[in-house]
Structure 1
Amino acid sequence: MLDRRRLLAGASALAATAAFPARAAAAPSRAEVLATMKRATAFMVDKVAYQGGYVWSYLPDFSRRWGELEAKPTMIWVQPPGTATVGHLFLDAFNATGDAGYLRAAEQAGGALIRGQHPSGGWNYVIDLAGEESLRDWYATVGKNAWRLEEFQHYYGNATFDDAGTSESMQLLLRLYAQTGDKRVKAALDRAIGFVLDSQLPVGGWPQRWPRAGEFSKQGRPDYTGFLTFNDDVAGENIKFLIMAWQVLGEPRLLDAVHRAMDSFVTTQQPAPQAGWGLQHGPDLKPIGARTYEPTSIVTHTTANNVAQLMTFYELTGDARYLARVPEALDWLDQVALPAALRVDGRTHPTFVEPGTNLPLFLHRRGSNVTNGVYWADHDPVGTVGHYSSQRKLDVAGLRRRYEALKATPPEVASRGSPLKAGRSPLPRFFATRPVEVSDLNSNRGAAPAAASEAARVAELVAGLNAEGWWPTMLKSTSHPYRGDSPAEVAPGDFSRTLVGDATDTSPYVTDTPVVGISTGIYVQNMGVLIEHLAAD
């Protein structure tokens, strides 16, 4: 649920350890591109995968590996860009080449996800294929001591909609079923659809985690995971999946759930003059705090995202209700924009706005680890935490232009071609070649300069694959190995703005001494470039 995970992963990132050879004047032959793709994939499937699944990055000798946190050798990651992301890439490669080996690899990734599917039908952030006892041990050690990753500090034993892991896994199963008609995949897909429908709240949205699995509080705050969640586009991801499932399966119950979900955006919009939304909303439908650095507030980037969603809903349905209160939300965003003196790196708005006062809230922390560390929010913009931005860059003017254009567009024109009205239809051929909205903590950093042309870029990728079959990547993100529980004593130093605390904090951080490694994100990105090249050939 970390904010930085929504950064664009940088589809042009190469992040190689050494300079690529001089750019070629022409792209390699189709046969050379196909051979490169096949070698890179053989390495991932034969050397990197664990029972068909993947984490985010690996040392070359596989002595350490990471997802959001350091992983055991028996673990695979569900959060993108994890197992389902790679599975989508394999299906894309199959659609581009017709090579059945890619389809088998996609089925293996899907099989790993099916083995780790929660009985409710959803997925957790991570799967430990060694079993429940091993996973609980990981949560009680690595997860428990990750100071800033509070979502990993407690093992709920249920499934989550956070970070699109469940959504992406469901989409992969849907694509696999549409491609193969496999009955085992269909059974898992049916469980996933049941998970989405059964967990939908009466108001139409979804909680972050489901089913409820006991209460857990942090610093005296209530467990937030059962509240209606907009953070990380939980509702938008579920709506997207349900529409895709409707296109493939044509089941009317899926459309009913879509309409209820879209209506939840209207129902939960707060009254003027603070006509926005929170990251999460409580039973009274008012914004409520989540993690200890996510205070009860009206949230600007969530409001901007929900405004964009409402305009998309108008394009899907032609229903003017979805546009009715958009101007109120845009006016509120204009009212709370930061003064020029507080704008950092072009960020225009505070992340959090205090209910009632319209004052910005800024995040701070003290201490050195999960045991002695404390977060709080106040009105002081000085010394804010470094891992969760107190400010956002929002294009309110662009949203307003889109609103004005849609307002002038008749409903029947705006919704022409809507998948809600088109009935059953095929899914797109390619998924992983679309812009990536997540990062494996390495694939969006230290990117090599973009090639002068597509041909040069493809040539670089073909030349840059090493003899073993992987693209060397500087792993700029690392973590402290688990050394035991964090002590109550505060370690020397100032950790108020760092990504990581003292040596007992298992949170990932950017290291001054990066090492060469294997990046799942780089594999997906580079393969996507080669697939697009083939598709355009």
Structure 2
Amino acid sequence: MRSIFRAATAILLFTCLSATSSFAADSAPTAADVLAAMKKAATYYHDKVAVHGGYVYFYSPDLTQRYGEGVASAEQIWVQPPGTPTVGMAYLEAYHATSDAFYLRAATETAEALIYGQLKSGGWTNCIDFDPRGERAALYRNGKGRGKNNSSLDDDQTQSAIRFLVRIDKAYDFQNKAIHEAAMTALDTLLTAQFANGAFPQSWEEPVDQSLPVRQASFPKYDWKTEGRVKNYWDMYTLNDGLAGSVAPVLVEAHQTYGDDRYLAALKKLGDFLILAQLPSPQPAWAQQYNYEMNPIWARRFEPAAVAGRESQDVIETLLLIFDVTRDEKYLEPIPTAVKYLESSLLPDGQLARYYELESNRPLYMNRNGKDYFLTYDDKDLPDHYGWKTSQKLERLKDEYRKLVSSPKSTRGRRKVSADQVKPILASLDDQGRWITTFKNEKLVGDQRFRPGDQFISSETFAKNIEALSGYLRTAH
């Protein structure tokens, strides 16, 4: 479940290495400066970095080493952000900002890579393996794969692929048959993965059971520490790793793009589930995972049944989005009590614990003795493979709540990109068209250990920079 992207960004300091731009440091970059840098960077990424039109997270500067959620083979690309859809969306932003057909062609090749790896179940897993006998090959719709058929909503995998395909489908005015079919298939199967109460599972192979009763969340009546564990937690109601906050924008964008009210209905159902999933006092927030009885449950060995600080903030953000779209005040009702509870649960350092013990509300952690995990209230010397604490953004959430309540229509929109934001992006592009970044600290990410001073090319950095430059062209010229 843990995203390599989140783990990496927590310990990286992106360092600019070389400058080739000719613009004066005290003047605003011109459109010509920006257009030239974008084309240089995108040409390098498209011509030198892509494999079958797709991408992974990190590359060594000489491109001999590739990393997704671990080491990637020469035939593998990654779906999970910041992989292939992330880069594809950056190409699309560049196309819309410049009308240069090069970027649309690059985005189209990226879409074709995703279409190759679309599963028979309609969604995606985190990796696409173009070797039919490769270790990460799955049961693709094109018949060229084998093995598992688990469409995943973990870590924004299927969601990011759908958002990109929907956007490029629109760019083609829905006339590219392969892209349109893939987008429609993915959206149709996503709807079949929504339970009657509005929840989604972490993954699916076939439509979910629609006969399950709709219940309000409650604390388990059994000893959750020793009872009630289920192996197939991924089939049940899931909020883990920001699932609600990544599924909701898919439904919003699908409804806005295609005008199909099924997507708006699914968005409202998701909001209804989030209302149901709020636990009662004294902990009016949300868990990572629920069983069909709507009790918090365990997931992996180090993910206990508990109130979850990070997921609770994600739910609040999602409810704000759903209210912004629907203007139905019922989606705001859970928020004030949830925010008040989270504020009262802040740790001494101002962060939120990932987990709070059910009913007692004590910050709860997991440690291990060898391979065996055990519950603990002690936050010292915790395993470093998981985020046991999370930054709190409660003031921002309260501010957004106030703005939405006071505004009769949506206040969301594109943020302007300033010259001061663009200058370091242009200055750090090297003579080959690369943005090289450097690890600040040693860290194990997936199964790959990066050390201080290790340099790499980052798909996240490429995409953010291209999108920023595109935004500057739209807002400044």
Read off the aligned partner of 1:473 and give its amino acid letter: T
Read off the aligned partner of 2:447 and give its amino acid letter: S
Gaps of 5+ in 2: 139-146, 208-228
Show the counterpart of 1:471: 435
- Whole-angstrom distance in 2 between the partners of 1:33 and 1:21: 10
1:26 aligns with 2:24: no
The answer (yes or no) to whether the contact 2:19–2:427 under 8 Å persists in 1 is: no
1:326 aligns with 2:335: yes
The change in CA–CA distance for 1:464 and 1:323 in structure 2 (over 3 A counts) is closer
The change in CA–CA distance for 1:158 and 1:92 in structure 2 (over 3 A counts) is same
Aligned counterpart for 1:354 among listed residues 353, 357, 363: 357
Deviations 1:476-496 (A, max 9, x none): 689xxxxxxxxxxxxxxxxxx
Show the counterpart of 1:363: 366
Aligned counterpart for 1:508 among listed residues 448, 465, 475: 448
Show the counterpart of 2:237: 228
Aligned counterpart for 1:178 among listed residues 163, 166, 170: 170
Read off the aligned partner of 1:351 and give its amino acid letter: R
The change in CA–CA distance for 1:461 and 1:351 in structure 2 (over 3 A counts) is closer
Show the counterpart of 1:264: 273
Deviations 1:113-135 (A, max 9, x none): 00011111111011111125442
Deviations 1:201-244 (A, max 9, x none): 1211111111279xxxxxx8513211211122212322211121
1:88 aligns with 2:89: yes
Secondary structure at 1:287 match in 2: coil
Question: Which stretch shifts more, 308-317 or 88-97?
Answer: 308-317
**Cα offset for 1:80?**
1.0
- Whole-angstrom distance in 2 between the partners of 1:405 and 1:57: 38
The change in CA–CA distance for 1:473 and 1:3 in structure 2 (over 3 A counts) is closer
Per the normalisation by structure 1, the TM-score is: 0.74
1:47 aligns with 2:48: yes
Show the counterpart of 1:15: 15
- Whole-angstrom distance in 1 between the partners of 2:102 and 2:391: 43
**Cα offset for 1:106?**
0.4
The answer (yes or no) to whether the contact 2:152–2:158 under 8 Å persists in 1 is: yes
**Cα offset for 1:383?**
2.0
Read off the aligned partner of 1:174 and give its amino acid letter: V
- Whole-angstrom distance in 1 between the partners of 2:33 and 2:395: 46
Show the counterpart of 2:224: none
Deviations 1:321-372 (A, max 9, x none): 223333332343244333x3xx3xx42x3221111322221221233xxxxx
- Whole-angstrom distance in 2 between the partners of 1:377 and 1:328: 28
Read off the aligned partner of 2:278 and give its amino acid letter: Q
Question: Which stretch shifts more, 329-338 or 13-22?
Answer: 13-22
Read off the aligned partner of 2:332 and give its amino acid letter: L
Q: How does 1:133-152 map to 2 (within 5 A)?
A: 133-135=134-136
- 1 or 2 for the larger relative contact order (CA 8 Å, sep ≥6)? 1
Q: How does 1:219-258 map to 2 (within 5 A)?
A: 222-258=231-267
Secondary structure at 2:234 match in 1: coil
1:117 aligns with 2:56: no
1:2 aligns with 2:6: no
- Whole-angstrom distance in 1 between the partners of 2:246 and 2:367: 30
- Whole-angstrom distance in 1 between the partners of 2:21 and 2:177: 47
- Whole-angstrom distance in 1 between the partners of 2:368 and 2:126: 26
The answer (yes or no) to whether the contact 2:56–2:77 under 8 Å persists in 1 is: yes
The answer (yes or no) to whether the contact 2:79–2:127 under 8 Å persists in 1 is: yes
**Cα offset for 1:386?**
2.3
**What root-mean-square deviation, in Å, do the aligned CA atoms of Structure 1 and Structure 2 show?**
3.2
The answer (yes or no) to whether the contact 1:196–1:238 under 8 Å persists in 2 is: no
- Whole-angstrom distance in 1 between the partners of 2:155 and 2:232: 18
- Whole-angstrom distance in 1 between the partners of 2:339 and 2:57: 37
Secondary structure at 2:285 match in 1: coil
The answer (yes or no) to whether the contact 1:3–1:389 under 8 Å persists in 2 is: no
Aligned counterpart for 1:197 among listed residues 174, 191, 211: 191
The change in CA–CA distance for 1:251 and 1:458 in structure 2 (over 3 A counts) is closer
The change in CA–CA distance for 1:301 and 1:223 in structure 2 (over 3 A counts) is same
The answer (yes or no) to whether the contact 1:162–1:232 under 8 Å persists in 2 is: yes
- Whole-angstrom distance in 2 between the partners of 1:33 and 1:105: 19
**Cα offset for 1:156?**
4.8
State the aligned residue count.
443
1:376 aligns with 2:367: no
Show the counterpart of 2:157: 165
**Cα offset for 1:91?**
0.9
Deviations 1:430-468 (A, max 9, x none): 8xx999xxxxxxxxxxxxxxxxx825x645444543333
The answer (yes or no) to whether the contact 1:272–1:328 under 8 Å persists in 2 is: no
Read off the aligned partner of 2:433 and give its amino acid letter: G
Aligned counterpart for 1:206 among listed residues 186, 189, 200: 200
The change in CA–CA distance for 1:282 and 1:179 in structure 2 (over 3 A counts) is same
The change in CA–CA distance for 1:255 and 1:532 in structure 2 (over 3 A counts) is closer
- Whole-angstrom distance in 1 between the partners of 2:342 and 2:39: 49
Show the counterpart of 1:77: 78
The answer (yes or no) to whether the contact 1:120–1:191 under 8 Å persists in 2 is: no
The change in CA–CA distance for 1:320 and 1:469 in structure 2 (over 3 A counts) is closer
Read off the aligned partner of 1:68 and give its amino acid letter: E
Secondary structure at 1:225 match in 2: helix
Show the counterpart of 1:142: none
- Whole-angstrom distance in 1 between the partners of 2:154 and 2:162: 13
Deviations 1:14-52 (A, max 9, x none): 523357889722245433332222121111111110110
Show the counterpart of 1:392: 390
The change in CA–CA distance for 1:29 and 1:252 in structure 2 (over 3 A counts) is closer
- Whole-angstrom distance in 2 between the partners of 1:454 and 1:7: 30
The change in CA–CA distance for 1:517 and 1:405 in structure 2 (over 3 A counts) is closer
Secondary structure at 2:365 match in 1: strand
1:528 aligns with 2:463: no
- Whole-angstrom distance in 1 between the partners of 2:276 and 2:60: 48
1:454 aligns with 2:419: yes
**Cα offset for 1:284?**
0.9
- Whole-angstrom distance in 2 between the partners of 1:77 and 1:322: 35
Secondary structure at 2:364 match in 1: strand
The change in CA–CA distance for 1:418 and 1:473 in structure 2 (over 3 A counts) is closer
The answer (yes or no) to whether the contact 2:20–2:429 under 8 Å persists in 1 is: no
The change in CA–CA distance for 1:29 and 1:230 in structure 2 (over 3 A counts) is same
Read off the aligned partner of 1:391 and give its amino acid letter: K
- Whole-angstrom distance in 1 between the partners of 2:456 and 2:9: 17
- Whole-angstrom distance in 2 between the partners of 1:463 and 1:398: 32
Fraction of identical pairs, as percent: 32
- Whole-angstrom distance in 2 between the partners of 1:56 and 1:405: 36
The answer (yes or no) to whether the contact 2:77–2:128 under 8 Å persists in 1 is: yes
The change in CA–CA distance for 1:374 and 1:245 in structure 2 (over 3 A counts) is same
